[in-house]
Amino acid sequence: MPSVPSASTRPDAAGGSRGGLVPLLVIATAQLMLVLDDSIVNIALPSIQRELGVTAVHLPWIVHACILAFGALLLLGGRIGDLFGRRRTLEAGITVFIVASLVGGLGQSTAMLIVARAVQGLGAAMTAPNALALIATTFSDRKMRDNALSLYGAMSGLGIVVGLLVGGVLTGTLGGFTLNARPATEEDTPDPADALPATAR
């Protein structure tokens, strides 16, 4: 007599598929956000240097602060997820990253921006390893897990491309504004003759 699939087989698979859609969207969006931010910052470096008066020595730290913090704390972020729960750590990491992004965007000094970027690296270190771990534990079916990992990887490539486009648009649109949020005028443009000695004018 052929065996009849129990009620705990097919319905659970369908429910798992529907239940895993929302976590997958959250994880994919988080990955897109991490990569997107890094791409935008790289494109906006000239505008940041001009608006905040960042020296050439400190300018690379706007990028490196986030990368160094992310690389140094990546294993710690994964361990925190093991101890306190991956989902909770992922949510905390996303929150830290968003708050640090807001502080960095409103920063009025080089030091504030660099510190905010380092905190962004902390948030990214809490987010990235736990996002991958959640994919592995949420999707028990191999095909669904492979699709989820493919989407996760695609978000990285998409974030780079979109970040370049968005960064260029934002830089071109907002780059002409000073820290006081007013358009740059002719009064803000120095006159080369002012740099000459009075006898040479």
Nearest to 110 by CA among 167, 176, 53: 53
Choose which CATH entry (1.10.238.10, 1.20.1250.20, 3.40.50.360, 3.30.1600.10) describes domain 21-200. Answer: 1.20.1250.20
Q: Residue 12, Cα to own-chain centre: how many angstroms? A: 35
**pLDDT single digits (tens) 122-171:** 999 999 999 989 988 888 888 888 888 888 888 888 887 887 787 777 76
Residues near 116 by Cβ (< 8 Å), separated by ≥ 6?
Answer: 100, 101, 103, 104, 107
3-class SS of residue 185: coil
Domain parsing of the chain, residue ranges:
21-200
**pLDDT single digits (tens) 7-36:** 444 433 444 455 567 778 888 888 888 888
Q: pTM value? A: 0.72
